[in-house]
Structure 1
């Protein structure tokens, strides 16, 4: 054990990743590996030394949705830390930006490399030394399943008072959905983007998400499309949820200057308030007296931080350079991203003409890059009309499409390693070339010489450095389309200390 390092842990964990072919097979199946998904997860849990019933003691707030579930989880975490400063609060989210240990936080802080290594190998060794009961169950779980098991182990060992548990994908068959009785469940906005990717209807998606409802457990959601809401109501009745409450942001939340930027965060904040209030009431805490929104809740909303989501970062080393980071990877989230960036408070300013604007963009293969870029351009146009910006010339000076590979030598940072990219796509930069072609088709007035296709994040950052040295004034760089891309930029540009 003494010779095992954090790097060793990350390498072991990366060995559990699925390759591009496997992920494509899962996608074709609609995200349902099979009816064996939950039984297999329970088997792994028991091999680690726990029963599902023991997880109830973690006092879980379970959150899913197609967009906003990470931000909502961050709001709940911040609210509870401000409302109950003496508590130990666990937060489990995905994906991470720079370091995998970001996924498991206690009192808002990622567990340390030393802690990650310790708990990782405790789980790894138990799984490696215990034979499986069912021959068809793989000996070791996949990447996300393993991290989920590890999170349960960490929170149990650290004796947390509450666990905020974000679903990975879906709900019904998700690895997190083995807690028999959470304290409260919540579903954020259900968009149609993932529906298009999986070839499913909004009703299918609502069925999946509603799978986190549990008998006699209160459930909350936000306003949803009509068909989605009908399915959620049906699932709530089927699974005997205590109640299903539709939450609006309310004037008390609307008046708070949230710690997370973007108008869409009001809805997430409203849901977070309802979840936190319900949890505290289950603990006989009365937060309804006096103000509709207690000061501790307001402080939590103001103090919430969630890296890589509509985040503004002043470069600590490069004077006059500001990074705007948003891991938006759906059509709807990209619209929210551009509404945030193309605004007087962010990308439109009196000195606009003197600023050099860059867009660094990538999306995973299989997603509709052309549709994504159309959303970027259309929302930019609408925002410029709304705010009186210059519509006669391109909004961005340079557009960079780069692969998510971290370094120029073709290697990934250990925590950012991914096997989900088709090797052929990576070598030939098919996705990035297609994005460049789509951009020029959608924006024919844009100078082709200012569209750049690059093989790594490091190439992109270096190009920004080179091009900004030729210009005058400040430089603004929007990085979006992929959380993995955002994490790579944070790593390569040396932004971790100020961004994470």
Structure 2
């Protein structure tokens, strides 16, 4: 989405709301019709997806009779919409666009781009299903994002403003905060986590100028630190804290329930049972005994640091085993981002974590036995599963594996003595999964009988750097039933 906006010369951002209003009208809705969806609108540069997942779980556990919808890839009551239902709603929207081609703005394309189309399908599905609550995650930015078409959400929230996005987007923190604060609305409560001072000042000004009913920097929730969250990683406590405030405010307005001063039993259960595929997720392979996938779609320097902090902990990637596991690192990143700096972040944080947990004798440069850099192309024949692939990636660069080769070269330059034949560049996710299966097959010969006290050699696979990468691995490796 960021790359698409750049390629358009800024047009996508500039005309996003106008275009979305036109498409919405052509399929039979007005922006005011969307108010009935009871929207919780969330943005931020990191943690917004996890925050939405926590809010979803909190509302479902508090009000089990409600229908709760999440726009991120369209989920209803915690479950992804079926391919059949998605196809039904998609073609209903498509047919309406086809039949009503009246154009309000000459500059608006006849059909919306991918993200905007999915958002329209979500809106249509949620209206048809008469949902009680809609958790709406911003795509990019806030002010001009197509999700910002909602005239009056019930509550709005902003997760952490990542410093990494300042360099990636070429904007100052104040400019980013101004964009994010664009989701604040007149008469609507405005929440945020604590932010760097420059960003916080802008958010407070945005809330005031947009006449939000109140502006709240969420306080720490008593007792939260004693709960084992359903999403792993220490950084998730900040996201959970924001989610608690958003859910309490929403319930107070819509139920109505008096916001509790302590965590209710329903909230505790909601926090413990939150699930969000591809975020600090441990998935034992259902078909490959001994293989475990560690999945995190981290795609910024800061989120990668959180990923490494999660994986390099005794409860996850450092847990004690009789035999040292074969460890594999699968990585890819989006065009426009510095792969070398990302990999340096991983290696540096890895070293710090090993020392923190008393594993300083382990060489961080050789912790992984193999590293794989592959494109987000789904299958070995070059085919894509459409909802898993970022089509913005220039196809000629995918074919040439330019980015993946640059990542491999960067790894070789950062880890000078790393075996060259253990650095792999593959053209598809299926190639990467085949390699893992091959290693698993080779290690299966070491498996022992059930009565033996020895443990078979395990294969641990850390997959990170891109949500598209993680989503594709879940599909190709056959992890959907246990991961989603």
Superposition TM-score tier, normalisation by shorter sequence: over 0.9
Alpha-carbon distance between aligned partners in 2 of 1:479 and 1:152, rounded to the nearest angstrom: 32
Instruction: Give the secondary-structure state (helix, strand or coil) at the position aligned to 2:12.
Output: coil
Among 274, 278, 284, the alignment partner of 2:249 is 278
> Does the Cα contact within 8 Å between 2:5 and 2:12 map onto a contact in 1?
no
> Does the Cα contact within 8 Å between 1:61 and 1:164 map onto a contact in 2?
yes
Alpha-carbon distance between aligned partners in 2 of 1:480 and 1:181, rounded to the nearest angstrom: 36
Matched, 1:58 2:25: no
Cα RMSD, aligned residues only: 1.7
Matched, 1:495 2:479: yes
Among 114, 117, 120, the alignment partner of 2:84 is 114
| 1:5-44 pair list within 5 angstroms | 22-26=4-8, 29=10, 33=12, 35-44=14-23
Question: Which residue in 1 is equivalent to 2:214?
Answer: 243
Deviations 1:88-125 (A, max 9, x none): 111111xxxxxxxxx11211122222221221111111
Question: Which residue in 1 is equivalent to 2:454?
Answer: none
Pairwise CA distance, 1:324:
0.3
Alpha-carbon distance between aligned partners in 2 of 1:454 and 1:147, rounded to the nearest angstrom: 30
Alpha-carbon distance between aligned partners in 2 of 1:387 and 1:453, rounded to the nearest angstrom: 32
> Does the Cα contact within 8 Å between 1:312 and 1:324 map onto a contact in 2?
yes
**Alpha-carbon distance change, 331 to 353 in structure 1, aligned in 2, over 3 angstroms:** farther
Question: Which residue in 2 is equivalent to 1:475?
Answer: 459
- For structure 2, the residue ranges without an aligned partner over 5 or more in a row are 447-456
> Does the Cα contact within 8 Å between 1:248 and 1:267 map onto a contact in 2?
no
Instruction: Give the secondary-structure state (helix, strand or coil) at the position aligned to 2:461.
Output: strand
TM-score (norm. length: structure 1): 0.90
Deviates more, 1:160-169 or 1:416-425: 416-425
Pairwise CA distance, 1:287:
4.2
**Alpha-carbon distance change, 284 to 493 in structure 1, aligned in 2, over 3 angstroms:** closer
Among 411, 425, 429, the alignment partner of 1:453 is 425
Pairwise CA distance, 1:351:
2.3
Pairwise CA distance, 1:417:
4.1
> Does the Cα contact within 8 Å between 2:13 and 2:145 map onto a contact in 1?
no
> Does the Cα contact within 8 Å between 1:19 and 1:420 map onto a contact in 2?
no
Pairwise CA distance, 1:404:
0.8
Alpha-carbon distance between aligned partners in 2 of 1:39 and 1:392, rounded to the nearest angstrom: 54
Q: How many residues align?
A: 469
Alpha-carbon distance between aligned partners in 2 of 1:470 and 1:152, rounded to the nearest angstrom: 49
Pairwise CA distance, 1:352:
7.4
Matched, 1:229 2:206: no
Pairwise CA distance, 1:320:
0.4
Question: Which residue in 2 is equivalent to 1:179?
Answer: 150
Pairwise CA distance, 1:194:
2.2
Question: Which residue in 2 is equivalent to 1:364?
Answer: 334
**Alpha-carbon distance change, 459 to 35 in structure 1, aligned in 2, over 3 angstroms:** closer
Deviates more, 1:304-313 or 1:244-253: 244-253
> Does the Cα contact within 8 Å between 2:304 and 2:345 map onto a contact in 1?
yes
Deviations 1:282-314 (A, max 9, x none): 12533445x601000111111110000000000
Deviations 1:183-225 (A, max 9, x none): 1000000002222122111111101100000001101110111
TM-score (norm. length: structure 2): 0.93
Pairwise CA distance, 1:375:
0.6
Deviates more, 1:266-275 or 1:390-399: 390-399
Deviates more, 1:196-205 or 1:392-401: 392-401
Question: Which residue in 1 is equivalent to 2:401?
Answer: 429
Among 56, 62, 76, the alignment partner of 1:77 is 56
Alpha-carbon distance between aligned partners in 1 of 2:287 and 2:156, rounded to the nearest angstrom: 43
Deviates more, 1:416-425 or 1:44-53: 416-425
Instruction: Give the secondary-structure state (helix, strand or coil) at the position aligned to 2:299.
Output: coil
Alpha-carbon distance between aligned partners in 1 of 2:249 and 2:216, rounded to the nearest angstrom: 11
Alpha-carbon distance between aligned partners in 1 of 2:327 and 2:76, rounded to the nearest angstrom: 37
Alpha-carbon distance between aligned partners in 1 of 2:335 and 2:62, rounded to the nearest angstrom: 43
Quick one: higher RCO (CA 8 Å, sep 6+), 1 or 2? 1
| 1:48-197 pair list within 5 angstroms | 48-93=27-72, 103-130=73-100, 131-197=102-168
Pairwise CA distance, 1:315:
0.4
Alpha-carbon distance between aligned partners in 2 of 1:228 and 1:252, rounded to the nearest angstrom: 28
